[in-house]
Chains A and B, each alone.
Chain A
Amino acid sequence: MPENRGYLYFPGCSLRATGAAYDESLTETFRLLGIPIEELEDWNCCGATSYMAVDENSAFLLSARNLSIAAQQGGRDLMAACSACYLGLRKAQDYVEHYPEVRAKVEAGLKAAELKPFTGVKVRHTLEILYNDVGVAQIKSKAVRKWQGGKLACYYGCQAVRPYDEVDNPHNPMRMDELMRAVGAQTVDYPLKTKCCGGTLTGTIHDVGVRLNYILLKEAVRKGAEAIVTICPLCQFNLDAYQCEITGDQGEKFDVPILYFTQVLGWALGGDPGKLGLKRCIAGQSKIKNWFSAKQEVASHA
């Protein structure tokens, strides 16, 4: 395999705020894998869902500015960890490539900002990079700890797999499951793995948003999962932050850890639990403490 030259990293707003744990654990995971990531210079908002819904052209322009800087900064794929960032950037790139009227507007906007048009920048999601460029086999061979915590439900959310199918199969994504299994975790069949987490509904029509999270949690537990693993900061936040509000139809309460897949991977690769943002998780802290404790350390699976 040729030397991996690393990636340009687009954290987006979430990973510098509510999703800081994702940022920290991702950085630690790539450090442990020895793959350099360099933050995109002077990045701005990706123009994700809310912007896109109000003014498509502005949303494209916001993403286009990031892509233009990426083209200048040069030569590497642009990695987004947040599914909304990934989709926003990917969609802008797709539309500029395939729709001349969008391209004309975007190029005019870039010109006004004294930026060059971008070509050849590839937008990729962290999950797909870890699966395709690093691979299950390498993760397995580099893991120094074996997951002995609870069974996991891998939850992919909607934006990473739709409408583009580059991150994983849109109907039955399995790549996160495979990565989790590579470090010894058991994953459950989770039929709701691409269903809605409520998105921004938890902020706008709160009851509806929280109800959707209840459905996700209930099914994960029913399938025997003790934690849910996510690849998107909004999914993680919704499931984690409102869990304490939920009382189920049968009066059930939940205390399910909602993890980022990079927290599990970073820990398995030998990362310092203190650098994985674990304390930022809200629900299931006692389980998290137990599962990620240093005592769980097992010498390489030799």
Chain B
Amino acid sequence: MRESNGAVRVGVYVCHCGSNIGAIVDCKAVAEYAAGLLHVAVARDYKYMCSDPGQELIQKDIEEHKLNRIVVASCSPHLHENTFRVATAKAGLNPYYLTMVNIREHDSWVHTDRAAATEKAKDLVRGAVRRVVLQRPLEKGRVPIDPKVLVVGGGIAGIHAALTLANAGKKVYLVEREPTIGGHMAMFDKTFPTLDCAACILTPKMSTVKNHPNITLWTYSEVESVSGYVGNYDVKVRRRTRYINEDLCSGCQECIAACVFKEPKFPDEFNQRLGKRKPIYLPFPQAVPQTPVIDPETCIEFKTGKCKKTCLEACADRHAIDFKLTDTVEEIRVGTIIVCTGFQAYDARRSPQFGYGIYPNVYTSLEIERLVNAAGPTAGEVVLRDGKTVPRSIGIIHCVGSRDENANRWCSRVCCMYSLKLAHLLKEHTDAEIFNFYIDMRTPGKSFEEFYQRLLNEGVHFIRGKVAEVTDWAADPSEEGKLVLRVEDTLLGVVRRIPVDMVVLSVGLEPHADAQDVRRMFNMTCSNEGFFLERHPKLAPVNTFTDGVFLAGCCQGPKDIPDTVAQAGAAAAEAMALIDAGYVEQEPNVAYVIEEDCSGCKTCIPMCPYSAITFREQDKKAEVNAVLCKGCGTCVAACPSGSIQQRLFEDDELFEELEGVLIHA
């Protein structure tokens, strides 16, 4: 051990944690032992060190005994390190002159032998005392927060987050990939369980977004790159051209009427390809912004260059249409980012046993949303794909692509309820006989179970069983011309064949196909299913592992509209908390490079999970960005020349602690 200059005076505090520690570790004996260690000026045991009297004990001793190093042997530093650092600082000592010894999780909770556990506590305390002697005073850094926010995705989550922030006076950029905001919610007819008209409650919010002075709305746009760190993100956004200048367009839609295609001819994506659109189109009547878009894949001018361009004539003096427009890239600086990129519906073709894409009258739930919608391709008339037959019987299959080992294993959470809603709407529209095929009914939301009861009372049939197949094979004449659902009715204990005119597949929710690209761009992590991972499933549900990047909506996992809106509000509040604080404090326990020893081998760079290390070309040295560094220590361990060190975990501190633990006195 190094010779002390006599100035180091350590205080050791051994906590009983009620009986959590005290029952197994003889705390008094540990304190008495510690009192005899080199540099220790005072050592005490106490019932609850984290209590106010416990903290005051430390503060009093610092003054009275002129202590300048503190060791607290108690629980995990995860719980109370901050408590004791604050107590230490209040007494005028640098808070990084504190070290904690975990004699609860690492000792009393995992041992039963009192004598051995007490010896272990002594060993750990001895190590900590030797370590704390070498610890250096450290200062927290401060990073200013740019008050502007980027919201990625313009579904109900992004809309709500953007409006919440904008109403609080924050400047927001809202970026949406599609030509309009609104997301999936805009496609829905009604919402469960209240049967509110989705458009009636959503479209006012959409226009508020468009007109809000604090929101810059970029639709038909995608984030191309993100760099920087919390408070200071530099973002590039590619704004795809619509070939119509948004600033010049008045939204009169004369161009659409004037298109050389007199009738809509191409599959309409917004209507799930059930309807048709022109090459120049607005996705739906209340789209925001009200600027049409030209699809170069179907527009004759783009395909042949020989169109009469009647749309240009219609636009006349406004000159909003310009076939030569190109994509533009906007570069912005924001302090925080909220990712609300939503979900994609499970592709029912992946479960061919349900016949989607094989039998025309098998539909997905999203198709039915459009079919029952007054603004949909049939103006709300529910007819089969022949365009005229009203179905007399309908089977709704739950859990398509969900809770299925061969597809996605998770429950998509919303399908039971939207299946009930669709059953109600289809019955209302057609008076057909309706069968729901479910594995389990999951209706755990507010007023959800009551809605289920209502459907039972409305005479909708519920058959408990997973449908084995949908077939057009008729076993007897009564099945001719029908789709037959073959299912084991697990309540009756028999295999049934139920012939219907129409089959609805309640498809599940899954991450977007490009979720991994988005994850990488925003430096997030994904759960096994591919949904973006929150920092803590219970206590940090809208945070990610990257500071300043938050999550809301179905990109984090399947959820319904109320949950999505609640989460979007929470994400906005988290962003605001950073903005209003003005800065974030950075823990000083970051890695740093000893430049004269660095050989420039770049081993450390790919090891860093936070992309905090860069290579300085001019002198061929690695450099750690202290703002991005989270102090994980991976690079320190990886560096072959030992030229990366980490503050608070310096080699000499760690070796001294190890030695202290291992020389069993």
B599 vs chain A, min Cβ distance (A): 44
Nearest to B469 among chain A residues (CB) is A171
B201 within 8 A of A: no
Give the Cβ gap from A292 to chain B, nearest Cβ, in Å.
Answer: 30
Is there an interface contact between A189 and B473, defined as CB atoms closer than 8 Å? no
Measuring CB to CB, which residues of chain B are less than 8 angstroms from any residue of chain A? 351-353, 358, 469, 471-473, 475
The answer on a CB contact under 8 Å between A172 and B472 is: no
- 11 pairs from A and B in contact (CB 8 Å cutoff): A171-B351, A171-B352, A171-B353, A171-B469, A172-B352, A189-B358, A191-B472, A191-B473, A192-B471, A192-B473, A215-B475
Which A residues are in CB contact (< 8 Å) with B353? 171-172
Give bound CA distance, A191 to B351, whole Å. 15
User: Which residues of A from 173 to 197 have beta carbons under 8 Å from B?
Assistant: 189, 191-192
Query: What does DSSP make chain A's interface, helix, strand, loop or mixed?
Result: loop
Does A247 count as interface, using CB distance less than 8 angstroms?
Answer: no
Known: A171-B353, A171-B469, A189-B472. 6 other contacts (CB 8 A): A169-B352, A172-B358, A189-B358, A192-B471, A192-B473, A219-B473
Interface readout for A184-224 with B: 1 if CB under 8 Å, 0 if not? 00000101100000000000000000000001000100000
Shortest C-beta distance, A213 to chain B (Å), equals: 15
Q: Write the chain A residue with the least CB distance to B470.
A: A191
Closest to A189 in B: B358
Which of chain B's residues have a CB closer than 8 A to the CB of A171? 351-353, 469
Please measure, in the bound complex, the distance between the C-alpha atom of A189 and the C-alpha atom of B351, giving whole angstroms: 17
**Nearest CB to that of A165 among chain B residues?**
B406
CA distance A169 to B407 in the complex (A): 13
Whole-angstrom distance between the alpha carbons of A169 and B353 in the complex? Answer: 10
Q: Kindly list chain A residues whose C-beta atoms are within 8 Å of the C-beta of B472.
A: 189, 191
C-alpha gap A40/B472 in the complex (Å): 43
Max count, chain B CB within 10 A of own CB: residue among A189, A191, A192 = A191
Once the chains bind, are A191 and B471 in contact (CB under 8 Å)?
Answer: yes
What is the number of contacts between chain A and chain B, taking CB atoms within 8 Å? 17
Q: Interface centre among A171, A189, A215, A219, by most B CB within 10 Å?
A: A171
CA distance A15 to B358 in the complex (A): 34
Within 141-192 of A, Cβ neighbours of B (below 8 Å) are at 169, 171-172, 189, 191-192
Residues in A with CB closer than 8 Å to B475 are 215
Closest residue of B by beta carbon distance from A172: B352
Which residues does chain B contribute within 8 Å of A215, judged by CB atoms?
475
A220 to chain B, nearest CB (A): 10
Give every chain B residue within 8 A of A219 (Cβ-Cβ).
Answer: 473
Minimum distance in angstroms from B602 CB to a CB of chain A:
37
Identity of the chain B residue whose Cβ is nearest the Cβ of A192 in the assembled complex: B473
Bound Cα distance from A125 to B90, whole angstroms: 77
Report the separation of the CA atoms of residues A191 and B475 in the bound assembly, to the nearest whole angstrom: 12
0/1 interface trace, chain A 223-243, chain B, CB 8 Å (1 if under) = 000000000000000000000
Q: What chain A residues lie within 8 Å of B469 (beta carbons)?
A: 171
Complex CA gap A171/B348 in Å reads: 13
Q: A191 — which chain B residues lie within 8 A by C-beta?
A: 471-473
Q: Which residues of A contact B471 (CB under 8 A)?
A: 191-192
**Nearest opposing residue in chain B for A169, CB measure:** B352
Instruction: Note all chain A residues with C-beta closer than 8 A to B352.
Output: 169, 171-172
Closest 7 CB pairs of A and B: A172-B352, A171-B353, A191-B471, A191-B473, A171-B352, A219-B473, A192-B473
Measured CA separation A192–B353 after assembly (Å): 11
Bound-complex Cα distance A219 to B480 (A): 12
For B469, B471, B472, B473, the residue with the greatest tally of chain A CB atoms inside 10 Å of its CB is B473
Q: B421 → chain A, closest Cβ, in Å? A: 28
Q: Give the chain B neighbours of A189 by CB distance below 8 A.
A: 358, 472
Which residues of chain A come closer than 8 Å to B351, judged between CB atoms? 171
* Cα–Cα distance between A189 and B358 once the two chains are bound (Å): 9
> Distance (Å) between the CB of B473 and the closest chain A CB?
4
Per the bound structure, the CA–CA distance linking A219 and B475 in Å amounts to 9
Q: How far apart are the CA atoms of A169 and B354 in the complex, in Å?
A: 13
A169 neighbours in B (Cβ, 8 Å): 352
- Tell me the bound Cα distance from A180 to B475 in angstroms: 28
CA gap between A95 and B471 in the complex, in Å: 33
List the B residue with the shortest CB-CB distance to A173: B352
CB distance from B350 to the nearest CB of A (A): 10
Closest Cβ of chain A to B362, distance in Å, is 13
Least CB distance from A230 to B in Å reads 18
> How far is it, in angstroms, between the C-alpha of A172 and the C-alpha of B355 when the chains are bound?
9
A189 to B352 alpha-carbon distance, docked (Å): 13
Q: How far is the CA of A155 from the CA of B374 in the complex (A)?
A: 44
B residues less than 8 Å from A172 (CB atoms): 352-353, 358
B292 nearest CB across to chain A (Å): 40
Chain A residue with the shortest CB-CB distance to B472: A191
Q: How far is the CA of A191 from the CA of B469 in the complex (A)?
A: 10
Measured between C-beta atoms, what is the minimum distance from B499 to chain A in Å? 13
Chain B residue at minimum C-beta to C-beta distance from A190: B473
Q: In the docked arrangement, what's the CA distance between A189 and B360, Å?
A: 13
With a CB–CB cut-off of 8 A, which chain A residues contact B358?
A: 172, 189
Q: How far is the CA of A169 from the CA of B475 in the complex (A)?
A: 24
Separation of A219 and B473 alpha carbons in the complex (Å): 7
Q: How many whole Å from A184's CB to the nearest CB in chain B?
A: 23
Cα A99 to Cα B584 in complex, Å, equals 56
Cα–Cα, bound, A171→B351 (Å): 8
A219 to B351 Cα, complex, angstroms: 23
> A residues within 8 A CB of B473?
191-192, 219
Minimum distance in angstroms from B400 CB to a CB of chain A: 13
**Cα distance, A98 to B524, chains bound together (Å):** 36
> What separation, in Å, do the CA atoms of A284 and B448 have in the docked complex?
60
Cα separation A169 to B471 with both chains bound (whole Å): 16
Question: Bound state CA distance, A17 and B163, in angstroms?
Answer: 77
CA–CA, A279 to B353, complex, Å?
A: 37
Closest chain B residue to A171 by CB distance? B353
Closest to B473 in A: A191
Cα of A191 to Cα of B474 in the assembled complex, Å: 10
The smallest C-beta distance from A256 to any residue of chain B, in angstroms, reads 17
Closest CB-CB distance, A40 to chain B, in whole Å?
33
A219 to B471, CA, bound (A): 12
Shortest CB distance A123–B (Å): 22
Nearest CB in chain B: distance from A121 CB, A: 27
Q: Which residue of chain B has its CB nearest to the CB of A219?
A: B473
Measured CA separation A49–B353 after assembly (Å): 26
A219 to B472, CA, bound (A): 10
Q: How far does the Cβ of A158 sit from chain B's closest Cβ, in whole Å?
A: 14
* Bound Cα distance from A169 to B357, whole angstroms: 15
- Tell me the complex Cα distance, A232–B469, Å: 23
CB distance from A163 to the nearest CB of B (A): 11
With CB as the reference atom, state the residue of chain A lying closest to B357: A172
CA distance A172 to B353 in the complex (A): 7
Q: Say how far A202's CB is from chain B's closest CB, in angstroms.
A: 20
Output the least CB separation between B347 and chain A (Å): 14
A118–B469 Cα gap in the complex (Å)? 39
C-alpha spacing A198/B353, complex, angstroms: 22
Minimum distance in angstroms from B189 CB to a CB of chain A: 31
Please report the C-alpha to C-alpha distance between residue A215 and residue B479 in the assembled complex, in whole angstroms. Answer: 14
A67 to chain B minimum Cβ distance, whole angstroms, is 28
CB distance from B45 to the nearest CB of A (A): 53
User: Would you give the shortest CB distance from B476 to chain A, in whole angstroms?
Assistant: 9
| A215 to B358 CA separation, bound complex (whole angstroms) | 21
Distance of A215 Cα from B474 Cα, bound (Å): 10
What is the CB-to-nearest-CB distance from A53 to chain B, in angstroms, rounded to a whole number?
A: 22
Q: How far is the CA of A219 from the CA of B484 in the complex (A)?
A: 14
Q: CA–CA, A169 to B358, complex, Å?
A: 15
Complex Cα–Cα for A171 and B486 (A) = 13
Min Cβ gap A153→B in Å is: 12
Q: A9 to B381, alpha carbons, bound, how many Å?
A: 59
Per the bound structure, the CA–CA distance linking A215 and B475 in Å amounts to 8
Identity of the chain A residue whose Cβ is nearest the Cβ of B352 in the assembled complex? A172
Which residues in chain A, 68-90, are within 8 Å of chain B measured between CB atoms? Answer: none
CA distance A233 to B352 in the complex (A): 26
Min CB–CB distance B525 → chain A (angstroms): 31
